[in-house]
Amino acid sequence: MDINYHLDQVSFRYSDQWVLRDFSLEVHEGEILGIIGPNGSGKTSLLKLMAGLLYPQAGRLTLRGQDISTLDARALARQAAMVPQENHVLFPFTVAEVVLMGRFVHQNGWGWESPEDLRIARAAIQVMDLEPLVDRTFQELSGGERQRTIIARALAQQAPILLLDEPTAFLDIKHQLEIYATLRRLNQDRGVTIVVVSHDLNLASQYCQRLLLLHEGRRFCTGSPAEVLTAENLGIVYGCEVLIDQHPEAGTPRITLPALVSVGGVFKNDTRTTLF
């Protein structure tokens, strides 16, 4: 199996605190890899490193055999499309205009969008169920519609690797499902490699072939959802007791929070308990 990303002893920090320490990972071509872990465990930083938006202070990060620091923005954007978690569009660009920006990497200089650009952008808009909104400005959209617009932009980029940071964070359940179904279809039909950061453990369990569980900037474990999503692993990493059974249809692990909240050990010796 071909390797898309190879991280070898990668360390990264923003200022003086290490976000990732001696981190190693391989992302295989054609897989759907889910990155899970508590807040501040380094998920987003890891994704940004892969997108070439951040550079590691130590270690080696290669994309298809090439050191990522040697690739320019254009070469990177042709390989990997990024869906950031937060998106701000200052000027009143329409949905159509925002999605067409995904075609930039295939265009040259000044000039106008080719029929090919328009066709591909239109297809991406259709897939994301945005057709009635093409004329609306990004600022007028709801959180979920914005998210779908940004995903459509990434699809229009036509990169063989998709990097998504919490793509379903603001979406209702119908669109959550649709996004993951679209990701799976892109993966199966087109062989697109997908790396997705998710807080939704159940969706990750259902749709990812492999999961990476991060804990304080290090790899806690990787493996199939059944291997990673155990009560013991989650208990240690999240510091929180969970119930795990099976998805009635898919048979993948299903995570539920217990009815009686007992935050395992976290508050036991904490001064905050005296407040309650």
Q: Give contact residues for another protein (rule: CB under 8 A).
A: 48, 51-53, 72-74, 76-78, 81-82, 84, 87-94, 96-97, 99-102, 104-105, 107, 109-110, 112-113, 115, 118-127, 134-135, 153, 155, 157-158, 185-186, 189-190
Shortest distance, CB of residue 49 to another protein, whole angstroms? 13
Whichever of 76 and 234 has its CB closer to another protein, that residue is 76
Task: Give the phi and the psi of residue 53 in degrees, each rounded to 5.
Answer: -85, -20
Shortest distance, CB of residue 118 to another protein, whole angstroms? 5
Whichever of 119 and 174 has its CB closer to another protein, that residue is 119
Q: What is the DSSP string of 18-31?
A: EEEEEEEEEEETT-
Rounded-to-5 percentages of helix, strand, coil across the chain: 40, 25, 35
Whichever of 20 and 211 has its CB closer to another protein, that residue is 20
Whichever of 96 and 212 has its CB closer to another protein, that residue is 96
Instruction: Check if the beta carbon of residue 6 is closer than 8 Å to that of residue 62.
Output: yes
DSSP assignment, residue 46?
A: H
Shortest distance, CB of residue 190 to another protein, whole angstroms? 6
Instruction: Check if the beta carbon of residue 42 is closer than 8 Å to that of residue 19.
Output: yes
Whichever of 58 and 134 has its CB closer to another protein, that residue is 134
DSSP assignment, residue 170?
A: T
Shortest distance, CB of residue 226 to another protein, whole angstroms? 29
Q: How many CB atoms lie within 10 A of CB 226?
A: 14
Instruction: Check if the beta carbon of residue 195 is closer than 8 Å to that of residue 164.
Output: yes
Shortest distance, CB of residue 207 to another protein, whole angstroms? 18
Whichever of 74 and 247 has its CB closer to another protein, that residue is 74
Shortest distance, CB of residue 232 to another protein, whole angstroms? 37
Q: What is the greatest pairwise CA distance in the chain?
A: 66
| E strand map for 76-223 | 80-83, 161-165, 193-197, 210-215, 218-223
Task: Give the phi and the psi of residue 65 in degrees, each rounded to 5.
Answer: 85, -10
Shortest distance, CB of residue 150 to another protein, whole angstroms? 9
Whichever of 149 and 205 has its CB closer to another protein, that residue is 149
- CA-CA distance, 183 to 203, in Å (whole number)? 12
Whichever of 101 and 169 has its CB closer to another protein, that residue is 101
DSSP assignment, residue 2?
A: -
- CA-CA distance, 2 to 229, in Å (whole number)? 26
Shortest distance, CB of residue 75 to another protein, whole angstroms? 8
- CA-CA distance, 186 to 193, in Å (whole number)? 9
